[in-house]
């Protein structure tokens, strides 16, 4: 099997030192969702939190969604404050403060209203640091983000424009058309074509018994959160990731296994599906195979609900949420942890993300089981040629295909559960008992 986010999550969650998936916790969340929340109103609740784009041609709308998700990352400043935009609401009647992701959405609406040609690939190719500074400027014209963030965003946009122009005639819709109505293929094409969507890493590939025992008492060492794990050559230089590199490598004497997360790639495919209402460019036949989108908020919600558990030292490292977060939010400060940035590609960062993907996957499968969707002939999944993790993933994928035949695939799937928990987390921010981690990266 290819190294998909779902396979990666199974590998990571079986080897976690500081984060684990709780079977009991996942079952409680699945029962809670099935009983009270995943009813006929859930799609409307999620839709209320979706950006509104107004009427535009399909090709332009696809380009807009692409640009929205191209820059969908890192909406907080080093001092803990959120990105903030003051701009009239979508009816243009009153000004309001938008923060975080919604500030990003407001920035796009403002740029479009001002006639900024940001949807054109030619503009993307020429986009400068100053262009990005203007894009996210405050109401008084001051910088909304640091110069370093503006520079990072401009590089991401430059790459996108170049590849869209060279490979797809300048339009994201042409990439979608090559995917044969497959959300998985679209997300993989994004990861293969654009470095900024290639959200991947290298996880320590230890034997299971090396990480067992009383894991809750495991102490964090600096390298757990500060060291990016990556393969190195004999001179200790990083070996760059490409499509052809073997999935097994080493960091010094540490055996590593390639893992993928593809948060923005998968959320782009999902946004296309949702905003096009599963029609036209958004008609995908495999949405049930998309995983959750591992970033900050949903892992925080999963930890609060008990679906994933942290070691005591990781809980202390991140700090508490709750009322402290509510006060911060009122001051325009995000609910991310006060701790140092956890390095993208470090062990702890990958454990948080991988275990979150595995937990949502398990919750989905538990909900499908509760509806009577069961696999027969489980012996077919006992293949000695692959790992236990891969066999379990094969069972889950087959269960999802069975759910598609029963009409549940777009109502009970990882992406919808992720969206609901994200919305729930936003609405109950003051109740979350553990702060979210924070990482500075273009991947989320």
Residue 440 domain flag? no
Mean pLDDT of 77-91: 76
Alpha carbon 374 to its chain centroid, in Å, reads 29
Q: Who's near 39: CB < 8 A, 6+ residues apart?
A: none
Residue 443 domain flag? no
Residue 68 domain flag? yes
Q: Categorize the per-residue pLDDT at 426 as very low, low, confident or very high, splitting at 50, 70 and 90.
A: confident
Residue 218 domain flag? no
Alpha-carbon dihedral angle through residues 285, 288, 291, 293, given to the nearest 10 degrees: 80
347 phi and psi angles, rounded to 5 deg: -60, -50
Mean pLDDT of 307-331: 73
More confident residue, 327 or 299: 299
Q: Categorize the per-residue pLDDT at 330 as very low, low, confident or very high, splitting at 50, 70 and 90.
A: very low
d(CA 419, CA 1): 27
Q: Give the largest CA-CA distance in the chain.
A: 65
Residue 147 domain flag? yes
Residue 272 has which token pair? 């296309």
Contact predicate 161/70, CB 8 Å: no
Q: Number of structural domains, the chain?
A: 1
pLDDT tens digits for 381-422? 455 555 667 777 777 777 777 777 666 666 789 999 999 999
Mean predicted lDDT score pLDDT of the chain: 85
Alpha carbon 68 to its chain centroid, in Å, reads 14
Contact predicate 210/21, CB 8 Å: no
Number of other residues whose CB lies within 10 A of the CB of residue 311:
23
Q: What is the pLDDT of residue 387?
A: 65
Residue 120 domain flag? yes
Q: Categorize the per-residue pLDDT at 9 as very low, low, confident or very high, splitting at 50, 70 and 90.
A: very high
Q: Categorize the per-residue pLDDT at 380 as very low, low, confident or very high, splitting at 50, 70 and 90.
A: low
Domain coverage including residue 419: 5-212+224-431
Residue 437 domain flag? no
| pTM beyond 0.85, yes or no | yes
Residue 442 domain flag? no
- Nearest-CA neighbor of 187 among 175, 173, 174, 202? 175
Mean pLDDT of 107-132: 95
d(CA 197, CA 376): 37
Mean pLDDT of 17-46: 82
Decide the pairing of beta strands 95-99 and 84-88.
antiparallel
Residue 317 predicted with pLDDT over 60: yes
Mean pLDDT of 7-35: 94
d(CA 225, CA 302): 20
Contact predicate 352/19, CB 8 Å: yes
d(CA 9, CA 259): 8
Choose the weakest-confidence range: 90-99, 103-112, 188-197, 411-420.
Answer: 90-99
């Amino acid at each position: 099997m290819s190294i998909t986010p779902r396979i990666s999550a199974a590998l990571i969650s079986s080897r976690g030192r500081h984060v684990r998936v709780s079977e009991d916790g996942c079952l409680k969340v699945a029962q809670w969702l099935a009983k009270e929340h995943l009813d006929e109103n859930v799609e409307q609740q999620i839709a209320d939190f979706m950006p509104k784009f107004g009427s535009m041609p399909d090709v332009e709308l696809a380009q807009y969604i692409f640009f929205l998700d191209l820059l969908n990352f890192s909406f907080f400043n080093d001092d803990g404050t959120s990105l903030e935009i003051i701009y009239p609401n979508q009816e243009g009647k009153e000004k309001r403060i938008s923060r975080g992701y919604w500030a990003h959405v407001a920035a796009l609406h403002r740029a479009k209203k001002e006639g900024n040609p940001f949807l054109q690939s030619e503009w993307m190719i020429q986009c400068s640091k100053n262009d990005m500074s203007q894009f996210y400027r405050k109401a008084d014209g001051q910088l909304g983000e640091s110069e370093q963030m503006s520079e990072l965003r401009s590089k991401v946009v430059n790459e996108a424009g170049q590849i869209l122009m060279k490979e797809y005639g300048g339009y994201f819709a042409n990439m979608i058309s090559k995917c044969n109505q497959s959300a998985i293929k679209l997300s993989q094409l994004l990861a293969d074509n654009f470095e900024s969507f290639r959200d991947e890493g290298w996880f320590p590939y230890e034997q299971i018994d090396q990480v067992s025992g009383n894991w809750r008492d495991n102490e964090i060492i600096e390298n757990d959160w500060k060291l990016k794990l990556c393969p190195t050559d004999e001179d200790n230089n990083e070996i760059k990731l490409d499509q052809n590199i073997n999935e097994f490598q080493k960091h010094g004497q540490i055996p590593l296994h390639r893992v993928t997360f593809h948060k923005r790639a998968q959320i782009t495919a999902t946004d296309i599906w949702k905003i096009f209402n599963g029609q036209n460019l958004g008609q995908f036949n495999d949405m049930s195979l998309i995983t959750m989108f591992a970033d900050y908020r949903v892992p925080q919600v999963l930890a609060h609900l008990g679906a994933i558990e942290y070691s005591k030292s990781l809980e202390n490292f991140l700090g508490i949420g709750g009322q402290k977060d509510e006060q911060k939010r009122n001051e325009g400060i995000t609910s991310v942890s006060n701790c140092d940035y956890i390095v993208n590609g470090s062990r702890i960062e990958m454990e948080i993300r991988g275990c979150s993907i595995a937990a949502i996957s398990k919750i989905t499968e538990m909900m499908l089981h509760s509806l009577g969707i069961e696999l027969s002939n489980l012996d077919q999944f006992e293949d000695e040629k692959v790992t236990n993790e891969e066999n379990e993933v094969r069972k889950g994928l087959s269960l999802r295909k069975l759910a598609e035949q029963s009409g549940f695939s777009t109502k009970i799937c990882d992406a919808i559960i992720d969206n609901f928990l994200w919305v729930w987390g936003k609405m109950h921010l003051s109740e979350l008992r553990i702060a979210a981690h924070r990482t500075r990266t273009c991947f989320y």
